[in-house]
A and B are shown apart, each in its own frame.
Chain A
Amino acid sequence: MPIESDADVVEAVCELREDEVLAWVGEQLELRPPLEIADALAAGLEQLGARFADGRYFIPELVMGGEIFAKAIELLTPALEASGSVLKKHGTVVMGTVKGDLHDLGQNLVSVTLAAAGFEVINLGCDVAPERFVAEVERTGAQVVGLSALLTTTMQMQAEIVDALAAAGLRDRVRILIGGAVANQRWADEIGADAYGADAIDALDKVKALVGINT
């Protein structure tokens, strides 16, 4: 089915028709401002996220959709830069599993879910030292930092990172979200984090709330 309208591109993104989406972006670049094209693509990604949330779509499809979106935006970038327009991103989130902890699947899942919803995600992987979180928040000006811990012994590291961000004078600039199997709201309160996210969908809701996007 050829892509003839913005509604069609939403469907094409959802159906993961990568080649067609990228070809369409190429064609549209001749015809319209890049920001408009990006908006249409973003609507596709949002629709994909909605279908995931209501159970019709699965994680691998969500991830693949996110990648197609990223490739399409890459095609748009030169035109965006040339026209001096900026893509409106919801915000930047630095994510990672804390030092001493190697459980990275959960935070990866949260990262792809946030990325698929239009956030810029800096995924630092696992076993990430406090200094690294501080440096990345500083460098990227992220609005939110997400700390994952799955072990009783590494929860303490979440507390240390909260303190390290404060010591670096970044506490007012960045909201802190924690998660992982052993974390909970009580622990978030105790260590002075701003929120606790129980799973990827909850993480997305919490991040949106932290950056002030209404859902």
Chain B
Amino acid sequence: MQPRLTFLNDMELDRIIDGAFEVLARVGVHIGSERVMDIVASQPGAQRDGERVTLNRDLVERCLKTCPAEIRLYRQDRDEPIVLAGDEVNFVAGSTVPYIYDPSSTGLREATSRDLVNHTKVIDRCDYIDLQSGSFVPSDVPKPIVSAYRYYLALLYSPKPMFSGAFGTDDIAVIWGVMSALAGGDRELSERPLALLCVNPSSPLGLTEVVAENAAFLAEKNFPMLMIPIPLAGGSSPVTLAGTLVQHTAENLATLVVSQTVRAGAPVIFGGGPSIMDMRKGTACQAASEAIMMGAAISQIAKRLNLPSSTNTGRADSKCVDYQAGEESGSALTSMALARINLIRGSGTLEYANVVSTEKLLIDNEICGMAKRLIRPIDTGDEALALDVIFERGTTTTGFLSSPHTLKWFKSEFFLPSDIIDRGQRREFEAQGSKDAFGRAQAGVQQILAEYEPRQIDTERKREADRIIAAYAKQHGMDQLPVTDIG
């Protein structure tokens, strides 16, 4: 049996999806771009009313039919794809935060380009984290260039596919240029995407100019687009989970209509970060139980609509890398894996996605590994059932350690965590300074950085990427970027 976490039966799922269709037909969405509005409003089934447009069920269903059910992403250094479809589970490092966790000060400081580079070196070594994210928004470069520079640095320092987003309509073109240079051309990039980009609809039911334009841009390029509405129950959507899911689904569907009307067949991912607003503190709580419940529901809704899925759930709200952070990311990452979300974000993040800790990333990596083990079923085939082994060994005192069956199976049957997870003897624990998980992760980060070896990259392609990013930096008043070499 495939282990699976679900919260909704078919009838309940239909009530939510039907609700979303009804919302789009009755109140529709706001579209902040005249150009995109014209494209959408000219479709049969669309009815424009000022800056809003209603979308009838036929139109939305027509658009759903043209969305691919599977998306493939590629590492720069491998031919086998990372697949977003069905029950596949992939983890993505948490992203786009201004602060890095710094236990020596107040718990945070503004992140720099160097932090981003170091963090990326660590992501590269996290075996269970499949996508990178250029996690920080560096404070040492001109603000308009931050997102393009993040793509540039991340893709130089790790071959893992990159996930993040543009901040505007200018930088998306520069991000595209950098990616295209590194992929070896526009066609190569569309055929073998080495990244994906998100657009975030504004709850409630709003596609701003940037969102609408960038959704159209990505569709024109036939490039994977992750849709991330973040309705916060009680704040920007109904207080109930079902009501928030209806609105969230409608926001995804509206964005997808933009994409499919610009180019039928453009790849889209049903994603988001529905959560709750904490009614005492007013914070955009990311690790609430309700975020887990809605995250699992996203997976079910996406599967019902035959779309790849993604969730923000996996982030922590704690300010430190402590028990709370472990509980939050631990239960969220595990639950989202069991819910079979295709792209699970959040590893490394703290303080509702305002802060990232490189040490936490390393600990979360182990959680991701354990979660990937959890979703592998309990094998009950003959060899795994091991009756013969029990017949033979169960009556002796030699035990099972020396059984060839043990030798053959132990590596595949058990998930073996790294030393970040302490399962050792007390003697060893004390000899290494009685460190807690954070202390061990600090040592782990130091070791990875010390062992780092620059990766080889096509010099022609790099030169072109360098040229694009340097020109963009210059345009915004910076002659020398903090980092342009791999090292």
Contact = CB atoms under 8 A, between A and B. Distances in A.
A151 B167 contact: yes
Interface residues of B, number: 23
B427 interface: no
Given A59-B282, A152-B137, A105 B277 contact: yes
Interface in B331-371: 354
B235 interface: yes
Contacts of A114: none
Contact of B143 (A55, A102, A155, A200): A155
Contact of A60 (B234, B236, B281): B234
Contact of A156 (B143, B281, B282): B143
A199 interface: yes
A109 interface: yes
B280 A58 contact: yes
B23 to A, nearest CB: 20
B279 A105 contact: no
Given A151-B167, A152-B146, 19 more contacts: A55-B280, A59-B280, A59-B282, A102-B202, A102-B208, A105-B236, A105-B277, A109-B282, A152-B98, A152-B139, A152-B143, A152-B167, A153-B143, A153-B146, A153-B147, A156-B143, A181-B354, A182-B98, A199-B282
B19 interface: no
A127 B235 CA distance: 18
Contact of A153 (B168, B206, B232, B277): B168
B167 A153 contact: yes
B86 interface: no
A79 B206 CA distance: 42
Given A152-B146, A153-B143, A181 B280 contact: no
Contacts of A151: 167
Interface string B124-152: 00000000000001010001101100000
Contacts of A127: 208
Contacts of B198: none
A130 interface: no
Interface of B: 98, 137, 139, 143-144, 146-147, 167-168, 202, 206, 208, 232, 234-236, 277, 279-282, 284, 354
A11 to B, nearest CB: 22
B235 A105 contact: yes
A211 B143 CA distance: 32
A100 interface: yes
A183 B282 CA distance: 17
Contact of B279 (A59, A100, A156, A199): A59
In the A-B complex, the 4 residue pairs with the smallest Cβ-Cβ separation, listed nearest first, are A58-B279, A153-B167, A152-B137, A109-B282
A182 B96 CA distance: 11
B332 to A, nearest CB: 20
Contacts of B137: 152
Interface string A23-65: 0000000000000000000000000000000010011100000
Contacts of A199: 281-282
Contacts of A153: 143-144, 146-147, 167-168
A17 B208 CA distance: 39
12 contacts: A59-B279, A59-B282, A100-B168, A105-B284, A151-B167, A152-B137, A152-B167, A156-B143, A156-B144, A181-B354, A199-B281, A200-B282
Q: What DSSP secondary structure best describes chain B's contact surface? A: loop
A60 B279 contact: yes
Nearest to B209: A127
A151 B234 CA distance: 23
Interface string A52-92: 00010011100000000000000000000000000000000
A127 B210 CA distance: 12
B83 to A, nearest CB: 32
Contacts of B144: 153, 156
Contacts of A181: 98, 354
A190 to B, nearest CB: 12
A121 to B, nearest CB: 16
Most buried by B among A151, A152, A153: A152
B232 A105 contact: yes
Contacts of A105: 232, 235-236, 277, 284
Nearest to A200: B282
A156 B139 CA distance: 12
Nearest to B206: A102
Contacts of A58: 279-280
A181 B351 CA distance: 11
A109 B282 CA distance: 7
Contacts of B206: 102
Contacts of A55: 280
A181 B98 CA distance: 9
A196 B235 CA distance: 23
A155 to B, nearest CB: 7
B244 to A, nearest CB: 14
B195 to A, nearest CB: 19
B214 to A, nearest CB: 13
Interface in A104-133: 105-106, 109, 127
Contacts of A60: 234, 279
Contacts of B168: 100, 153
Nearest to B144: A153
A155 B280 CA distance: 27
Contacts of A152: 98, 137, 139, 143, 146, 167
A153 B138 CA distance: 11
A152 B280 CA distance: 27
Nearest to B235: A105
A199 B283 CA distance: 9
A106 B354 CA distance: 14
Interface in A126-173: 127, 151-153, 155-156
